[in-house]
Amino acid sequence: MNDIEIIQPLVRGNIRELSPYSTARDEYQGELGVFLDANESPYDNGWNRYPDPHQKLLKDKISQIKGIQSQNLFLGNGSDEAIDLMFRIFCTPGKDNAVSIDPSYGMYQVAAATNDIEFRKVALGNDFSLPQEQLLQHCDQNTKLMFICSPNNPSGNAFSQEEILEVADKFKGILVVDEAYIDFSEKGSMISSIASHPRIVVLQTLSKAWGLAGLRIGLAIAHPYIISLMSMVKYPYNLSCAVQKIALEALENGIEDKVECIKREREAMAQKLKSIACVEEIYPSDANFLLVKTRDADSIYNYLIDKGIIVRNRNKVKLCGNCLRISIGLPEENQQLISYLNQYE
Ligand X SMILES: *Cc1c(COP(=O)(O)O)cnc(C)c1O
Q: Contact residues for ligand X (CB under 6 A)?
A: 78-80, 105, 149, 153, 178, 180, 205, 207-208, 213, 218
- Residue 30 CB, shortest distance to ligand X, in Å, is 33
Question: Nearer to ligand X by C-beta: 79 or 294?
Answer: 79
Burial bucket for residue 335 (CB in 10 Å: 0-12, 13-18, 19+): middle
Q: Taking the C-alpha atoms of 218, 173, 107 and 74 in order, what is their torsion angle to the nearest 10 degrees? A: 10
Question: Nearer to ligand X by C-beta: 61 or 312?
Answer: 312
- Residue 106 CB, shortest distance to ligand X, in Å, is 9
- Residue 306 CB, shortest distance to ligand X, in Å, is 27
- Residue 287 CB, shortest distance to ligand X, in Å, is 8
Residues, the chain: 345
Can you state the angle between helices 331-343 and 256-274, rounded to 10 degrees? 10
- Residue 105 CB, shortest distance to ligand X, in Å, is 3
Torsions phi, psi for 288 (to 5 deg): -100, 30
- Residue 50 CB, shortest distance to ligand X, in Å, is 23
What residue is closest to ligand X based on CB?
A: 78
Question: Nearer to ligand X by C-beta: 113 or 195?
Answer: 113
Question: Nearer to ligand X by C-beta: 11 or 167?
Answer: 167
Question: Nearer to ligand X by C-beta: 11 or 76?
Answer: 76
Give per-residue burial for 217-256: e unless 16+ CB within 10 Å, then b.
bbbbbbbbbbbebbbeebebebbeeebbeebeeebeeebe
Q: Which residues pair with 325 in a beta bridge?
A: 291, 312
Question: Nearer to ligand X by C-beta: 51 or 103?
Answer: 103
